[in-house]
Structure 1
Amino acid sequence: MSRPPLPIGSWGKISTRVEKTDGKGKPVTYLSKARIRDHDGCVRPVTAVGKTKTAAEHAVLKKLQDRARTSQSGELTAMHKINHLLDLWEKRFESLIADGKRSPTSLDTYRRSLKNHVRPAIGELRIGEATTPRIDTVLTKIKTSSGASTAKTCRAIISGAMKLAVRYGALSVNPVREVDTIEAPPKDPPRALTGEEVALLRKSLAADERAVEADLPDLASFMLGTGVRIGESLAVLWNQIDLEAGTVNITHTIARLAGEGLIRKRTKSKAGVRVLHLPNWAIAMLRRRQAAGIRLDDPVFADTIGGYRDPSNTRRALRTALSPVGSTARRDLGLSLRTLRRQSGLNRKQVADTLRWPQTTIELIETGRIKVDHELVATLVATYGIKLDQLHGLLAQVHAATQPAESDKLAWIRSHALRKTTATALDQAGHTARQIADQLGQAKVSITQDIYLGRQAANPAAAQALEHAFDDPDLL
């Protein structure tokens, strides 16, 4: 009876012999070799040398392991580590990006979750050990520690990797398929700015020197007039604007990739490529900017040196501008708190670390851009060795700073609220959900309806229909 063949990707016994000796006959080089059955079924020799027998054996073993890993032509085993499977999944995702079927920013997001959550949790397990209960436990822990959104991302990654394992023969079914659905707390309903809030927004941005310096008034107007995403706004070039026809051609978005910096890439889907008509007030704003001098290949909303602006920095500038400056009282309190911090010899980072607050919170307090109360200020000055109730002058400032201010109405606004405001305005004007989705560059109407349209009163024609249906008093 013939000997059974080696399994695909495995090797036989490693043998080692002396390859070279010195003048005294002492071995100086060893040769180790073994035969591996490649994934085409052929058995081939693999050799390696080393100064010692152990070094030679380790060298040939590494070659064999690398050969088994890299020579795969579409086959895995249940004994491979999940880290190896995740490497293959990443490479496949990279090929999809090269084909234009996936976004590089998506891979950036996935890699963060891989590094911080997925690999530490299951990377060293064997593929065959990835059972449904084990993965369910891992995802539950991630949801508890990092939130439902992160857990959903990790679930998508693991599911994609296990789907690859099924395709390559390491598993018969995807164990993630039966994992419990990850449910997040219900989100607040879509909220759009009212006409009064839009007027207040424009007034506040125009009156804020830092907002004007960051070019936010015109950018906010452009977003309200088009409904485009902030990255799409920053990617628009002057040669994509036709002021005579009153249109803008949306084709790209700006994103930041790790190791590459800012890139201008195609929109996330085919639905994102669209030509939009501009309202007259947006055209007037663009004519004014054009009159100041432009180059056709420059961004409409460029940074200080004429290049692309970072969407994250722009969002941060908008958040800061919309944080409630409130009144002179808040600014005066912020200056007093900054003086006390400096007198105590502490910097913002030291204070933030002591209180376990974000460092930006200290900055917002000291610039009068956050609504404070007695407890917050007392906690802050305690880190400076000060009791708030013993400083009557500071107490008076705190009382004045806690009074309501008109700009508090804007504190909830984020960049996406402008997009939702555009969508809701079109909805109120009688546009269909499909027309609004096309304006926003969304392929699925359901997303537009569920996420971007502010809820209105139920169908106003319903009352009239019911009145006609039940107007017979005998029905009562």
Structure 2
Amino acid sequence: MAYFRDWDGVTRPIQRVGKTGAEAERRLIKAMKERATPSSDVLSRDSTFTALATAWLITVDESDRADSTKARYRDLTERVLTPPLKEVRLRELSVPLLDRVLQKARSKVGPSTVKTARTVLVQMCAYALRKGALDSNLGEGTETVQIKKKAETALTVDDVKAIRALLVARDESPDKQGRRRYTRISDVADFYAGTGARTNEVLALGWDWVDLDAKTAFLERTLVEINGKVKIQDKPKSDDSRRKVALPQYVVDMLMRRRIQATTGLVFPSSRGTPQQDGNLMRMWSAALAKTPYEDVTPTTFRKAVATLLAAEVGAEAAASQLGHHDVSVTKKHYIRRENLGPSEAREVLGALFAP
């Protein structure tokens, strides 16, 4: 028997019985350790990583996260994190062990996937910490995943027009069977250029969200792929992505033509009238620009070019609002190409100092 100051600050007697004095003492010490760090009914220090993953995924499914995020988190948990840690007890987890798991995964799935997997791991450990099954967030102690940034392709207004011309040429040429092409990717490019919208926002756009009289479009939905199936999610990538954009006249004209010809409720459907997969669009885009100076340009590059050109004309804040970003710093960091220009005053000073 011992007096124990419990987790709520109250001192209480605690007693354990054993066949011998030593056994009773061991049971008493174990009981006090468990009382010192109370765990939930769901998890304890003796729970396996699988039990943690199962409990955490239930909270993810019950959250208001986007369906695509829920599917992504579940996939990474079941495919990357759980297999190597399946039977490991939570009391056996350590930063070196988790670090080793992430490093091994990097050679199989790539740095971008591992970076998201680390985010999942941090959230999972935070959940275990709140339940009293961990003393600290071990996920935060793992090494952050650095992704090598690709060199940006700086597109000018003339480049954007040249790319559009190549896409129009592809659209107006017959397919391999000599038939007229159904999908006009130049129309999608026009919508990119006129709005700066994301690909999946464009492909999820329905005619009910387009007001041709007011020359506006509501970007409130996005296309997601869950378990290999494409569906329209009635929720954008983030709350700030929900926005109304003003449409330039050339985009209105393009949409008017498509509205007259439309046979479905989608603005940019597939040839079967279903939501068009972004992967299929990407293949057609790449084929149109293959063996040209723009073969490395993707729809994302195109969107970044629009952001850069828009920021140069009306400012970064306006570009961020147009692209649906909550923080202008995101737009500046990932979408607006930075030009390191020296101050104009330096020209006069250096010219006066060193002119021959």
Q: Measured at CA, do residues 226 and 138 of structure 1 come closer, stay the same or move farther in structure 2, by a change above 3 Å?
A: same
Q: Which residue in 2 is equivalent to 1:319?
A: 286
Q: Measured at CA, do residues 472 and 221 of structure 1 come closer, stay the same or move farther in structure 2, by a change above 3 Å?
A: closer
1:226 deviation in Å?
Answer: 0.7
Matches within 5 A, 1:15-414: 74-96=41-63, 100=64, 102-185=65-148, 187-208=149-170, 209-210=174-175, 212-258=181-227, 261-293=230-262, 298-324=265-291, 408-414=292-298
Checking the alignment, whether the CA contact within 8 Å between 2:311 and 2:319 is kept in structure 1 is: yes
Q: Measured at CA, do residues 103 and 264 of structure 1 come closer, stay the same or move farther in structure 2, by a change above 3 Å?
A: closer
Counterpart code for 1:253: T
3-state SS of the aligned residue for 1:78?
Answer: coil
Counterpart code for 1:456: E
Q: Whole-Å Cα distance in 2 between the matches of residues 259 and 322 of structure 1? A: 27
Count matched residues.
315
Q: Measured at CA, do residues 74 and 160 of structure 1 come closer, stay the same or move farther in structure 2, by a change above 3 Å?
A: farther
Q: Whole-Å Cα distance in 2 between the matches of residues 104 and 85 of structure 1? A: 21
Checking the alignment, whether the CA contact within 8 Å between 1:251 and 1:274 is kept in structure 2 is: yes
C-alpha offsets along residues 282-304 of structure 1, whole Å, 9 cap, x if unaligned?
Answer: 11211222233566xx1111222
Checking the alignment, whether the CA contact within 8 Å between 2:192 and 2:302 is kept in structure 1 is: yes
Counterpart code for 2:339: Q
Checking the alignment, whether the CA contact within 8 Å between 1:190 and 1:451 is kept in structure 2 is: no
Q: Whole-Å Cα distance in 2 between the matches of residues 120 and 75 of structure 1? A: 21
Q: Whole-Å Cα distance in 2 between the matches of residues 159 and 410 of structure 1? A: 39
Checking the alignment, whether the CA contact within 8 Å between 1:235 and 1:299 is kept in structure 2 is: yes
Q: Whole-Å Cα distance in 2 between the matches of residues 472 and 413 of structure 1? A: 43
1:151 deviation in Å?
Answer: 1.9
CA RMSD of aligned residues (A): 2.7
Counterpart code for 1:110: Y
Checking the alignment, whether the CA contact within 8 Å between 2:311 and 2:318 is kept in structure 1 is: no
Runs of 5+ unmatched residues, structure 2: 2-13, 18-38
Q: Whole-Å Cα distance in 2 between the matches of residues 282 and 192 of structure 1? A: 24
1:197 deviation in Å?
Answer: 2.6
Q: Measured at CA, do residues 270 and 94 of structure 1 come closer, stay the same or move farther in structure 2, by a change above 3 Å?
A: same
C-alpha offsets along residues 217-269 of structure 1, whole Å, 9 cap, x if unaligned?
Answer: 11111111111011100111112222222211111111121176423331011
Q: Whole-Å Cα distance in 2 between the matches of residues 203 and 469 of structure 1? A: 45
Checking the alignment, whether the CA contact within 8 Å between 2:217 and 2:247 is kept in structure 1 is: yes
Stretch of structure 1 that moved more, 195-204 or 208-217: 208-217
Q: Percent identity?
A: 28
Q: Whole-Å Cα distance in 2 between the matches of residues 256 and 171 of structure 1? A: 34
1:320 deviation in Å?
Answer: 2.8
User: Which residue of the other structure, out of 443, 449, 459, is the alignment partner of 2:332?
Assistant: 449
Q: Whole-Å Cα distance in 1 between the matches of residues 128 and 197 of structure 2? A: 39
1:122 deviation in Å?
Answer: 1.1
